[in-house]
Structure 1
Amino acid sequence: MTETATAPVPAEIPETGGPWPRSQRWWLLLVLIVAVGLGVRLWYLFGWMHPVVVQGDPLYYHQAANLFADGRGWPDPYELKLNHRYVPDAQHPPLTSALLALPSLVGLTTFLEHQVFDCLLGTLTILVVALTGRRAAGPAAGLVAGGLAAVYPGMWINDPLLMSETTGILACSMVLWLAYRFWDRRGYLDAALLGLATAAAALARAELLLLSVFLVTPLVLMARAPGGLPVAEAATASWGRRAGMLAAAGAACVLAIAPWAVYNLTRFNEPEYLSTGLGTTLAVTHCDTTYHGPFLGWWDFKCILKIKNEPTERSERDVFYREAAYRYIGDHKAELPKVALARAGRTWGVFRPFQQVRFDTIESRPAGLSKAALFSLWVLMAAGAVGAVLLRRRRALLLPLLALPVALTVASTMVYGTSRFRAVAEPAVVLLAAVAFASIRARFVPRGRHSGSRATARAEQAGQEREHPQAPAPAL
């Protein structure tokens, strides 16, 4: 990985030939895009997803939010609803239900009201993605990224379902934005904010803690301090500063997760930190029917039914199911590469994609919209590959946009493959594709049409809208 200094580029270039400065026009267009995105999500909700049978994970998140808002802690909502037993539980990390508890606190407790709130969270993601694209590759790329986030089905198909994917997408979008912000500023506070966002992602989906390994750690270790010192002193100071910033990011991440982890340690018999759901997940994904045949790489609830005498206490049950899955894995090690590839292929829509569309209907995803999301994904992945090459050629920061899909893919290979697991990596796909589409736009829009447009085009082509343009840009 090499680093090169780049020429400063003004953060905002005013345009004097029209009634609005260029920066104000950018924000007006973004407001319009966000409004369109909200309209799409509400159309999907009221046109497709209401009314809907409330069951499975959506029921869990909905009921857990209301229970938490009522001050009843975090029990298993299924047990409470069906058997009237209060059983402490952490089947899912808490962030999704904790956010849904916000409308519950003001009396908005119905499933529909929670669906609308989730659509608002999804709409907020559009803003964050646009800001990330603007910071990473210029104003045009930011607007294109926002537009894609507004209308691409992969970014909104989960919103009215009341699943953790909406929260995960928003958290991962914040991670990407703060990663670029950190790279521009290279400060301890910026590192801590990046660690905090990583913790939020993990509290939405536990496997996203992998971002601390695939993104935060390498990004911080790549960040050199500003120059001005002799070479030897600068190298020593730079590594010391990197270590300090990495410690700040780690401390912020740990402190954010600590209240939930400590709460779990006080109420379960076995140590649990983020979730008690790993054992159940492994139990339904490691068996004969998921290693062979039509369910290869997916899950099968019949797997867990074959495991008898499971404990009632949730942490003990988690350990029980994990040990059963590990035994099966140990007996079928030779088949793991095949299964892992099938899982990754299902997640990214390249292994039995239309079968996966049928499987997705189990989670209330309309088959027609799932197909539209699949075809759109293929287009965006092709454009994203071009966008990655363009960023590489510009020596712009590429690591965050690659680390998120890689971390998600690794997590998917360890559990199972499904379209919704891909959701949290969709912002990176959208941003990479936006770079390619913005580059096409720059080739065909005359640069001299407006005053100041030449300088702006150079800024967009270089991917350089920086708050601190003196910071060096890496090759990766």
Structure 2
Amino acid sequence: MHHSGERLTTWRDPWIVGACFAGVGVRLAMLVARRGDVLPFTDAFWYSAQSKALRKGLGFNGLLDGQPTAEHGPLTPILLWPASSGDVVDNQRALMTVYGILGLATLAVLAVRLLTPLGARIACVIAAIYPNLWMHDSIIMSESIAIGLVSVTMLALLTVRQRPTWWNAGALGLAGGLAGLARSELVLLIPLCAIIAWSFARRPEHVGDDRRLAPLAVGALVLAGGAVVVAPWVGHNLSRFEEPTLLTTNDGTTWLGANCDVTWETSLIGSWSLACVLGIEETVGKDPSERSSIQRQLASEYIGDNTGRLPLVLVARGARLLDVYGLADMNEGDVKEDKFGWAVWLGIGSWWVLAPLAVVGIARIARRDRLIVLPPIIAVIVTTFLFYGGHRIRAPMEPAVVLAAGAGVAALWARRRPISEPDGAGGSRSAST
């Protein structure tokens, strides 16, 4: 715990300000390094092309064939729309960099409000230079948006902890819903945050607060806020595909690519393979929803026929999440998805340093602070074991890792201080609640 007089001023502390400026510099340098790069024919191509389709007034239909598409969530193409004219690729990279910088600023605000002064400073420095954050910010995919919205969601959850009002609860649901429209697996944040917000509203310090809602009402408002954001997209999809489609038609592709001989029987165990979803006769001539349904069925049949190997596959998925297995092929896959190979290796090395510190931080911070950072971690772990392990899957939990690592370093430093000094370097800040 720390003393209330140690509270930081968000943008005036020199360490915080310096870290943010350094983070902006790193991201702008990456943008300059990518200027003129050709867009690979990966998910980045879909996001870029779909944004151009929106710009042309085609809605969520293919730019080339005009057919309905929901290959990924709608938020990233929508946010890319302002940059989808002229020199499209470079403009879109620049706009994604802006979104990455906004995400960095949000994470800095959250660190200052959640952690002690030392923990916040360390977390901001880490956020500025951590490759697993900045490498996404000039790439035309959903990771940078998702990372920023995860930080927004954690900040909204912290606000609900401090003041469980109807507005704050609804805003938390809206943040979780937007995250789910960026990356469909992040809809898990909505129920996770609803449960945690309910537990916060039950805390004794909120008794007697005229603005306080009943705990069940807080949880219900979080769910309602998420539904308000997600429901229009779900309704749109249900009205235009042959098979019922909720968020995307990509779930079948993901499921089948993660459950086949290549990703169960070879050195690529625990990963995802495009080879597993190509050349399937049953999907020829089908619309995306029908294709996805067939792929899900094939994947389910494969799992049922090979259940004896499932435990080993799950271990491999977890090992990939933790960067202790399959490093070479994950690096190769990341490079194909428009990342620099050296940056991926730097990210792996940085993860090895930060992950143990994050474990220390999660163990040492107060339970109420731990609950703020847990939702994205839980969502990523669930997604990994359901689908596959990889850096893109892990990306949404990186802000939580940064916060926990900052708290971990602060906690370890506090152990070096004389016992007679005030404990201002732990992981949680009592004055913020």
Question: What's the TM-score once normalised by structure 2's chain length?
Answer: 0.91
Matched, 1:286 2:251: no
Give the counterpart of 1:335 among 293, 309, 326.
Answer: 309
For residues 50-89 of structure 1, the aligned pairs below 5 Å read 50-77=36-63, 80=64, 85-89=65-69
Matched, 1:407 2:372: no
Query: CA RMSD for the aligned pairs?
Result: 2.9
Q: Distance in 2 between matches of 1:121 and 1:386?
A: 30
What's 2:215 paired with? 242
Q: Determine if contact 1:272/1:315 at 8 Å carries over to the other structure.
A: yes
Q: Determine if contact 1:193/1:249 at 8 Å carries over to the other structure.
A: yes
Shift of 1:445: 9.0
Bigger Cα displacement from structure 2, 373-382 vs 302-311: 302-311
Shift of 1:424: 0.8
Q: Determine if contact 1:289/1:300 at 8 Å carries over to the other structure.
A: yes
Q: Distance in 1 between matches of 2:401 and 2:427?
A: 20
Q: Determine if contact 2:100/2:137 at 8 Å carries over to the other structure.
A: yes
Residue type of the alignment partner of 2:20: V
What's 1:25 paired with? 12
Question: What's the TM-score once normalised by structure 1's chain length?
Answer: 0.83
Give the counterpart of 1:185 among 163, 168, 176.
Answer: 163
Shift of 1:331: 1.4
Q: Determine if contact 2:255/2:296 at 8 Å carries over to the other structure.
A: yes
Q: Determine if contact 1:137/1:465 at 8 Å carries over to the other structure.
A: no
Where do 5+ consecutive residues of structure 1 fail to align?
1-5, 14-21, 449-453, 470-476
Distance 1:8 1:115, change over 3 A: same
What's 1:209 paired with? 187
Q: Would you say how many aligned residue pairs link Structure 1 and Structure 2?
A: 431
**SS of corresponding position for 2:67:** coil
Cα deviation digits, residues 42-73 of structure 1 (max 9, x gap): 21222256423442111111111121122210
Cα deviation digits, residues 399-436 of structure 1 (max 9, x gap): 23233222201101211221121111100110001112
Shift of 1:229: 6.8
Q: Distance in 2 between matches of 1:354 and 1:228?
A: 51
Q: Distance in 1 between matches of 2:4 and 2:217?
A: 29
Bigger Rg, structure 1 or 2: 1
Give the counterpart of 2:31 among 45, 63, 70.
Answer: 45
Shift of 1:250: 0.6
What's 1:131 paired with? 109
Bigger Cα displacement from structure 2, 434-443 vs 113-122: 434-443
**SS of corresponding position for 1:160:** coil
Shift of 1:101: 1.0
Matched, 1:463 2:413: no
Distance 1:46 1:445, change over 3 A: farther
Distance 1:328 1:226, change over 3 A: same
Matched, 1:223 2:194: no
Cα deviation digits, residues 370-420 of structure 1 (max 9, x gap): 11100100100111112112204xx55202323322220110121122112
Q: Distance in 2 between matches of 1:198 and 1:143?
A: 26
Shift of 1:86: 1.1
**SS of corresponding position for 1:284:** helix
Distance 1:92 1:7, change over 3 A: closer
Give the counterpart of 1:101 among 74, 81, 84.
Answer: 81
**SS of corresponding position for 1:161:** coil
Q: Determine if contact 1:123/1:150 at 8 Å carries over to the other structure.
A: no
For residues 367-378 of structure 1, the aligned pairs below 5 Å read 367-378=341-352
Q: Determine if contact 1:129/1:142 at 8 Å carries over to the other structure.
A: no
Bigger Cα displacement from structure 2, 364-373 vs 351-360: 351-360
Matched, 1:152 2:130: yes
Give the counterpart of 1:324 among 298, 313, 326.
Answer: 298
Q: Determine if contact 2:197/2:219 at 8 Å carries over to the other structure.
A: no
Q: Distance in 2 between matches of 1:280 and 1:54?
A: 19
**SS of corresponding position for 1:405:** helix
Shift of 1:129: 1.1
Where do 5+ consecutive residues of structure 2 fail to align?
none
Q: Determine if contact 2:189/2:379 at 8 Å carries over to the other structure.
A: yes
Q: Distance in 2 between matches of 1:112 and 1:98?
A: 17
For residues 328-367 of structure 1, the aligned pairs below 5 Å read 328-367=302-341
Distance 1:440 1:50, change over 3 A: farther
What's 1:266 paired with? 239
Residue type of the alignment partner of 1:174: V
**SS of corresponding position for 1:100:** helix
Q: Determine if contact 1:225/1:241 at 8 Å carries over to the other structure.
A: no
What's 1:255 paired with? 228
Q: Distance in 1 between matches of 2:205 and 2:409?
A: 35
Distance 1:413 1:176, change over 3 A: same
**SS of corresponding position for 2:281:** coil
Give the fraction of aligned pairs with identical amino acids, expressed as a percent.
29
What's 2:388 paired with? 416
Shift of 1:212: 2.7
Distance 1:7 1:351, change over 3 A: closer
Q: Determine if contact 1:169/1:426 at 8 Å carries over to the other structure.
A: yes
Bigger Cα displacement from structure 2, 46-55 vs 400-409: 46-55
Cα deviation digits, residues 183-216 of structure 1 (max 9, x gap): 1112222111111111111101111112234343
Distance 1:439 1:352, change over 3 A: same
Q: Determine if contact 1:133/1:142 at 8 Å carries over to the other structure.
A: yes
Bigger Cα displacement from structure 2, 166-175 vs 52-61: 52-61
Shift of 1:463: 2.5
Give the counterpart of 1:175 among 125, 150, 153.
Answer: 153
Bigger Cα displacement from structure 2, 118-127 vs 40-49: 40-49
Residue type of the alignment partner of 2:95: F
What's 1:120 paired with? 98
